[in-house]
Amino acid sequence: AQSVTQLDSQVPVFEEAPVELRCNYSSSVSVYLFWYVQYPNQGLQLLLKYLSGSTLVKGINGFEAEFNKSQTSFHLRKPSVHISDTAEYFCAVSDGGLTGGGNKLTFGTGTQLKVEL
Amino acid sequence: DADVTQTPRNRITKTGKRIMLECSQTKGHDRMYWYRQDPGLGLRLIYYSFDVKDINKGEISDGYSVSRQAQAKFSLSLESAIPNQTALYFCATSDSRGEQFFGPGTRLTVL
């Protein structure tokens, strides 16, 4: 079984400051990792994904994440946030079908990023 | 046009009523999913389907049923709605590596 932990339910930050949203996962097999963003009253949109290769993944809107296998983490970062980044962010993990249950996603409980002036 | 569409977008109903939420996709994916989102709980999987003849329960399937009418259509039904099924419901499709594409959501309120 897989699980995802997003320890921070809310992260307030001032505009133009850097931000890191934390994500830790557990899995018995190799994983694929994803970050999704949900803007108010909208569905989920993919920010970035790690499938294989380079552990530093760059996504849309200036976000990036680093896959750290030894620490089972996939933290999301942005060097300078904007008001428009205010949204809820979800980390998710997939086993790629390796455990026989298909490649379902397991989501964390989300982190609400609030960017203030 | 959106790749994944959901109807209705909003619905208010009463306890005991039967409700159907519909999802259509134009991405050509075989895999489709239904989730519910509740504040502080993230997204929880209700049902998923890997092709037209394959239906699987997710972690919270009690009180729900689904129908995969075609590759592009996946419907979620609440046979007898109850207030704790008030939530935001999302349909999603995926490619073979698990990246999922979400619809805009249906906000359901059960009074």
Residue type at position A75: H
Q: How many cross-chain Cβ pairs, A to B, lie less than 8 Å apart?
A: 63
How close is the nearest chain B Cα to the Cα of A77, in Å? Answer: 20
What was the pLDDT predicted at B72?
Answer: 95
- Classify residue B61 as left (phi > 0), alpha (psi -120 to 50) or beta: alpha
- pLDDT tens-digit readout, A14-57: 999 999 999 999 987 778 899 999 998 888 999 999 988 889 99
What was the pLDDT predicted at B1?
Answer: 59
Q: What are the residues whose beta carbons fall under 8 Å from the beta carbon of B94, sequence distance 6 or more?
A: A103, A105, B29, B31, B32, B33, B100, B101
**Cα A99 to Cα A30: distance, rounded to the nearest angstrom:** 10
Q: List the single best residue of A34, A36, A47, A104 to mutate versus B (max B Cβ within 10 A).
A: A104
What was the pLDDT predicted at A102?
Answer: 55
